[in-house]
Structure formats: structure tokens, C-alpha cells
């Protein structure tokens, strides 16, 4: 009995429930697999990552115009939750640079920095982004990790780096003006206040930048940011720089992350939620792509299995919990994740230890953190911004793809002139549109044999046959694609106008609808109207069945025009290729069948193909041609090449290749009946045309050539290898 291979609705529901349960109980699954011997390594790795995460959290919060403690709350809470509910054992969740910059304009649209409304909006944005991430996990969209293409991310990150660098210059210079997400506004303020730059802040920031550059040369194991911040803080104390006008970050609450509604003293309203929804979708998209891209990269290095849906769930939950406890939007940091892997992390406990260490530092060191100078943080961020730009990948895109380069450049410019949330969402939409176009529109391109004549390849540098065009179609023939296919076929014919025979290779066409059938009918009609023809090779059974049911094969194309891959070119050489062009007009040997053709290129003296009626000379059928041969004044010439003549010729015929006929035509008797034969009748037609132009009026040619003669069961002479003749 036949069994339905697809799961029933009940089975699907049960599977869905099992997936949700697996997402929720992920910490229990992780803890069951923890080995005691791995805990010391995880603790050391967590300490190393925390040493880097603390200064980064403070710096990245500064990008979003948020106080340091919100960055630290986010780094601690997101690290713990992201590790326990995520898929990657290395992924370090917390504040990241590009996401912090994306959050800034979103928050500025609803509140002013430093206000309770601003802090509430930051937390609400994280909750909304987290809900979107968890929803995507519930509907199992974890495989959609290409929401933004690589070129979009490269362009956005480069633009974000420029935003960060320009935005932090005001702290480096020690000038003060309202925060803005508009790049031109920041540049205008910097230009207007350049004379007010604070010299000591500028020296401290520049020194921090140079120290950061030097320390980064020693690799990621050295906590360069932490060293720079500690050094600059010591300088503030030792030289009394706060009294000299150097701005510091100020007091940091000495407490564990409090619930948002307690820390802000307010609850979000519907107006704020509506204002943040669209921007939060952009935050979720960028955050998920960054997190999954980082975790996939690390998983490939170690051979770990990664569940993208579980990672979406973990990132979503980390954002929700972070937002509920006075944090802001987070994602997976590639820098800190790679550091965790390099530091010998063994399990998900690394992230848990990282979060606990950050909380401990918050409780113990917060009284001393207030003296961190903003100029030093700006210097650190300028170095980080430069490191954000993947110059190697950008050069690779430019060298590889013009379209990807345009996308990357367009996203970069959009990041500079448009609101950042709109820039990243437009990049996502454009990437998805490009993906849909590339996935649904078939590729149509000419192919030629490779130098070994074993495979057909696409190589515009190789010569093409002037008579026969081979076009490969890869993709469905459906209503959305027929215009594209017709345009490509038309472009190919315009480029190679002499190709009157078209072969469509359709082994990669898996479906065809009525629009595709009509497109094929139109193509066949076009080629036949100009004296050519169309053939199909490697036709797949489902598509062939559709073409049969529609009547296309029997009523339009003809079953003899569906050819097998093997022998197709040989068949076309016998029935469609004009040997005259091969011998006298084409210098190339495109196909293996061309190798035995003698080439005699005559340049401007090549006889043209007849364009009108042949006048007094006629192409006659084989039976009538045989009667004309019996006339006493008849002269019978075979205008083919010697090798062709030896394979099969009419008894009594004299070999006179077309090249020799052109040279000796003036010596032929004009009072006798000249009969010409060739393989298919085409070369004879050309010879008749030339002779008629010279004044000959007693002419006749064999219609259909030797092929028609043999089809009529008339005898031919075949020469064997020893030179003797056999009559058949």
C-alpha cells in the first residue's frame, strides 16, 4: 500500500512542540554535558573575555549616548543568557559597535540623551528586537542567515565605522554639542567648534589612540582596551586632569542590574512602542546576522554543529532579558567570541563566567570607574572603528563582482546620508530582492566545446560556430522568466547573425508553464522564418511531458528535433550545417566534427549564397536528376571535397570541388548541360548561382544532394580503404 511520505498535521504539531521545548530547556541540556575538568579552562577564558568586554561595553554604550553602567548591565546579562540558551559554545553576546550606532538614531527619534525616556526607549528597543528574534526561531527561520548579503554588511559596517569615528571626534577634541545621528550635522558642529578644542583632552585622546594601536600589535590575548583605559585613568588621578577640564564618565551605580521600570521610574506607552517597532526590526536583522555569522565562522573552525534556530532563540531571549533589566540591544561579538575560542574555552560556561565576572567588577570597581576620561574612550573607539572595516573583503568584492560592488557602495552611501535603520533595512530588502531574482530567473548563456571536445563550457574567449548556436538554459521556464530568456536569445542572435540553427540545452530546466511553451513556439517560428531551425537536447522527462500534452512537440517542433546529447552535433552537421561555410568562410574548428574539414578561405572571393530565385537553372529531385544524367550533352560534377566524394558519390560523376570550380569556371563548355551535386544541395546552389552570373544557362542541381539521392534508394559508389569501389 502506498504511504504518504509527508508528515501529517498532527505529526508536524508534535515536532513543532518538541522544538519549542528543546529551545526552552537548552540550559538543562548544556549543564548535563558539562565536564568538571573543563571548568578551569572555561573560567580562565571567561576572565580573559571579561577583561576585553568591560572597556568595550563602556565604549559601545558611549556610541549610543548611553551611560557606562547600561553597557555593563547589557554585557553581563546578555553574556549569561546568550550562552545558556544559544547554540555556539564560543559566541560572546553583549554590546557591539555597529548595533550601538544603529540604536542611536532610533533612540534620538523618541527622547533626549540622559533622560529616563531615553533609557526606557533603549530597553524597549532591546525587548522588541528580542521578540522578533524569538519569533523567527519559533517559525524556524534560522536558516535565513542571509537577510543582508555580505556586500550589504560590508558597506554598512564601513559607513558605521565612519559614523563612529566622526561622532567620537567631539570627545577626542573635548568639545560639547548636542548628540546627532546625522553625519553632516556632526561635521558642521566640529567645524564650527574646532577653535574651542581642549588641548589636554586632545593630547590624552591621541595618546590613548597610539597606545591602543601599539598594544593591538600583540594580538587579541592582550586586553588593549582595558590597559588603555586603566592607563588614562591613572593619568587623570596623577595629573589632576579633571580639574583641568578633562571630561570623565562620572558615577556608575554600584548595584546589580535593576528592572527597567524601577531604574527609569516609568513604563512604556503605546506611542513609544509604535515609534520603535520598525527600527527595532532593523536592529533585530543586523544583530541576528552578526551573531549567526560569527558563530558559523567559529563552528567551521572546530567542526561544531550549529543550530541557527536555537541561536536565534538565544539571541532573542538575551535581548529581552537585557531590556527588562536596564540594558540595551545586544548581539554576538566576533572579536570577543574569537578571543574565547583562542583562550581555550570548552563549553557554554565561558559566557556565564564572563557575565558573572562583569557583575562582580561592577559591584567592586564601580567607585573607581567614574574617573575614566571620555577622550581615552574616544581614542579606543577610533581604533576599533578602523578595525571594523574589512579592507581585504572589500577589495575581494571589487575584484569579483560588479553587481556586489554596486550594492556595497550603495549601502555605504545610504549609511552616510539616510537614517541608519532605513539604510540597513533597505539593504536587507535589496539583498532579498536580488536573491529572489537570481533564484528564479534562469541563466541563459552560450556554450562551446572545451579544447578537449569533451565538455560544453561558457567561455567568451573561445571561437563560436558561425552557423550553429548552443544555448544553455538553467532554471524554470515560467511566466516570470520568459521575457528574460527571450532577451538573452535575441541578444545572442543579434551578436551572431549567421547562426540560423539554434540548439537549446535544457537538462537544467525542471519546470515549464504555458508562458514558457509560448516562448519556445515563438523562438521556433522566428528561426524558421529566416530559414533556420531550433532543436532541443537533454530534455528532462517532466518538461517533455508538459511539452507533449500542450502539442508543442508534435504540432510545432517535431519529434525529430529533440536530440540526444551524444550525436547531436554530428546529426546537425549532416542535416543543417552548410559545408560551404565550413570550408570557405570559417577558419575555426569549434567542434570535433570540424577536424576533418579541409579549410579553403577565399576572403572576398567566396561565392555568396543565392538570395533569390535561381532563374534558368533548377534544383531538381533525384529521379529527374537521374533522367538529366542520361542526356548525351550532360556533364556531371561533384562540388564536394575529395574526402566526402570518396565516402559516397554517384556513378559517373566527376569530382570538381567548389574551390576548383571557381577557378576554372570560365573554361567550362557553355553549350552543354552542367549538372551539379553536393552533400545537401547548398554548395551546388552556390555554384549554380555563380555560373548563372557568368552567363551559363544550361544548368541543374540535385535537390537535397547525395542525402536525398540515397534516401530515394538510388545507387552510389563507396570507396573502401584500399581504393577499390563498391556499388550500393
What is the spatial distance between Cα 577 and Cα 682, in angstroms, rounded to a whole number?
Answer: 10
What is the spatial distance between Cα 691 and Cα 670, in angstroms, rounded to a whole number?
Answer: 10
Burial level of 618, CB count in 10 A (0-12/13-18/19+)?
A: middle
**Listed residue (365, 627, 283, 644) closest to 636, CA to CA:** 627
Contacts of 695 (CB under 8 A, 6+ apart): 670
Torsion-angle region of 563 (φ positive above 0: left; ψ -120 to 50: alpha; else: beta)? beta
Are the CB atoms for 30 and 346 separated by under 8 Å? no
Select which of 512, 582, 594, 678 is catalytic.
678
Contacts of 377 (CB under 8 A, 6+ apart): 55, 58, 59, 62, 168, 171, 229, 249
Give the side-chain half-sphere CA count within 13 A for 249: 32
Are the CB atoms for 471 and 507 separated by under 8 Å? no
What is the spatial distance between Cα 130 and Cα 86, in angstroms, rounded to a whole number?
Answer: 13
Q: Nearest 10 degrees: CA dihedral of 276, 279, 283, 288?
A: 100
User: Is 678 in the active site?
Assistant: yes
Q: How many residues does the chain have?
A: 728
Q: How many helices and strands (H and E) does the chain possess?
A: 29, 16
Contacts of 190 (CB under 8 A, 6+ apart): 166, 169, 170, 173, 175
Pairing of strands 468-474, 443-446: antiparallel
Cell of 607: 561565392
Coil/strand/helix, residue 448: strand
Chain-centre distance for alpha carbon 599: 44
Are the CB atoms for 88 and 150 separated by under 8 Å? no
Chain-centre distance for alpha carbon 723: 61
- Name the DSSP class of 595: G
What is the spatial distance between Cα 675 and Cα 17, in angstroms, rounded to a whole number?
Answer: 86
**Listed residue (65, 375, 377) closest to 247, CA to CA:** 375
Could you give the residue ranges of the DSSP H alpha helices within 472-617? 482-495, 514-529, 541-550, 568-575, 579-584
Grid cell 560592488 is found at 405
Q: Which residues are catalytic?
A: 678
Amino acid at each position: 500500500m502506498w504511504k504518504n511520505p509527508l508528515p501529517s498535521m498532527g505529526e508536524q504539531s508534535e515536532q513543532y512542540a518538541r522544538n519549542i521545548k528543546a529551545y526552552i530547556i537548552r540550559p538543562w541540556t548544556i549543564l548535563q554535558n558539562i565536564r568538571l575538568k573543563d571548568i578551569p579552562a572555561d573560567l580562565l577564558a571567561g576572565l580573559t573575555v571579561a577583561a576585553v568586554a568591560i572597556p568595550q561595553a563602556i565604549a559601545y554604550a558611549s556610541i549610543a549616548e548611553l551611560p557606562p553602567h547600561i553597557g555593563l548591565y547589557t554585557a553581563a546579562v546578555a553574556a549569561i543568557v546568550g550562552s545558556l540558551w544559544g547554540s555556539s559554545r564560543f559566541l560572546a553576546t553583549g554590546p557591539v559597535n555597529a548595533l550601538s550606532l544603529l540604536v542611536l538614531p532610533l533612540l534620538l527619534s523618541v527622547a533626549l540623551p540622559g533622560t529616563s525616556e531615553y533609557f526606557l526607549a533603549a530597553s524597549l528597543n532591546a525587548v522588541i528586537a528580542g521578540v522578533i528574534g524569538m519569533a523567527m526561531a519559533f517559525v524556524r527561520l534560522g536558516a535565513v542567515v542571509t537577510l543582508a548579503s555580505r556586500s550589504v554588511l560590508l558597506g554598512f559596517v564601513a559607513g558605521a565605522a565612519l559614523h563612529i569615528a566622526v561622532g567620537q571626534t567631539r570627545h577626542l577634541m573635548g568639545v560639547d554639542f548636542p548628540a546627532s545621528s546625522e553625519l553632516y550635522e556632526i561635521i558642521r558642529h566640529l567645524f564650527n567648534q574646532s577653535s574651542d578644542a581642549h588641548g589636554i583632552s586632545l593630547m590624552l585622546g591621541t595618546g590613548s589612540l597610539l597606545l591602543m594601536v601599539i598594544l593591538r600589535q600583540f594580538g587579541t590575548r592582550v586586553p588593549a582596551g582595558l590597559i588603555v583605559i586603566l592607563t588614562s585613568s591613572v593619568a587623570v588621578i596623577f595629573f589632576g586632569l579633571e580639574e583641568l577640564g578633562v571630561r570623565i564618565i562620572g558615577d556608575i551605580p554600584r548595584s546589580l542590574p535593576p528592572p527597567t521600570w524601577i531604574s527609569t521610574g516609568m513604563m512604556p506607552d503605546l506611542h513609544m512602542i509604535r515609534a520603535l517597532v520598525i527600527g527595532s526590526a532593523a536592529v533585530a536583522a543586523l544583530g541576528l546576522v552578526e551573531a549567526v555569522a560569527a558563530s558559523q565562522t567559529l563552528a567551521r573552525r572546530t567542526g561544531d554543529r550549529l543550530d541557527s534556530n536555537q541561536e536565534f532563540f538565544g539571541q532573542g531571549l538575551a535581548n529581552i532579558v537585557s531590556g527588562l533589566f536596564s540594558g540595551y540591544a545586544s548581539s554576538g561579538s566576533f572579536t570577543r567570541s574569537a578571543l574565547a575560542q583562542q583562550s581555550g574555552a570548552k563549553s557554554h560556561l565561558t559566557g556565564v563566567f564572563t557575565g558573572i565576572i562583569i557583575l562582580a567588577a561592577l559591584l567592586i570597581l564601580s567607585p573607581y570607574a567614574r574617573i575614566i576620561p571620555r577622550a581615552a574612550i574616544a581614542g579606543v573607539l577610533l581604533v576599533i572603528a578602523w578595525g571594523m572595516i574589512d579592507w581585504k573583503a572589500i577589495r575581494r568584492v571589487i575584484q569579483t563582482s560588479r553587481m556586489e560592488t554596486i550594492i556595497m557602495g550603495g549601502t555605504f552611501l545610504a549609511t552616510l546620508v539616510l537614517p541608519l535603520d532605513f539604510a540597513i533595512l533597505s539593504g536587507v530588502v535589496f539583498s532579498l530582492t536580488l536573491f529572489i531574482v537570481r533564484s528564479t530567473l534562469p541563466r541563459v548563456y552560450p556554450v562551446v566545446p572545451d579544447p578537449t571536445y569533451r565538455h560544453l563550457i561558457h567561455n567568451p574567449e573561445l571561437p563560436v560556430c558561425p552557423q550553429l548556436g548552443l544555448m544553455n538554459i538553467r532554471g524554470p521556464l515560467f511566466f516570470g522568466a520568459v521575457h528574460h530568456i527571450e532577451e538573452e536569445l535575441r541578444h545572442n542572435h543579434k551578436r551572431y547573425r549567421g547562426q540560423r540553427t539554434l540548439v537549446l540545452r535544457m537538462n537544467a530546466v525542471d519546470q515549464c508553464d504555458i508562458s514558457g511553451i509560448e516562448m519556445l513556439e515563438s523562438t521556433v517560428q522566428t528561426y524558421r522564418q529566416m530559414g533556420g531551425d531550433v532543436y532541443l537536447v537533454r530534455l528532462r522527462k517532466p518538461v517533455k511531458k508538459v511539452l507533449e500534452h500542450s502539442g508543442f512537440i508534435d504540432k510545432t517542433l517535431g519529434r525529430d528535433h529533440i536530440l540526444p546529447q551524444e550525436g547531436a552535433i554530428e546529426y546537425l552537421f549532416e542535416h543543417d550545417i552548410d559545408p560551404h561555410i565550413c570550408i570557405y568562410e570559417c577558419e575555426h574548428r569549434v567542434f570535433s566534427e570540424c577536424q576533418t574539414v579541409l579549410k579553403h578561405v577565399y576572403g572576398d572571393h567566396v561565392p555568396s549564397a543565392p538570395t533569390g530565385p535561381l532563374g534558368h537553372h533548377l534544383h531538381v529531385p533525384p529521379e529527374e536528376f537521374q533522367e538529366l544524367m542520361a542526356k548525351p550533352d550532360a556533364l556531371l560534377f561533384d562540388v564536394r571535397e575529395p574526402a566526402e566524394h570518396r565516402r559516397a558519390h554517384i556513378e559517373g560523376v566527376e569530382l570538381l570541388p567548389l574551390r576548383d570550380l571557381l577557378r576554372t569556371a570560365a573554361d567550362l563548355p557553355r553549350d552543354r548541360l552542367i549538372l551539379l551535386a553536393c552533400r545537401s544541395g547548398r554548395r551546388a546552389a552556390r555554384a549554380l548561382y555563380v555560373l548563372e552570373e557568368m552567363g551559363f544557362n544550361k544548368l541543374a542541381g540535385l535537390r537535397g544532394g547525395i542525402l536525398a539521392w540515397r534516401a530515394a534508394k538510388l545507387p552510389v559508389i563507396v570507396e573502401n580503404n584500399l581504393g577499390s569501389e563498391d556499388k550500393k
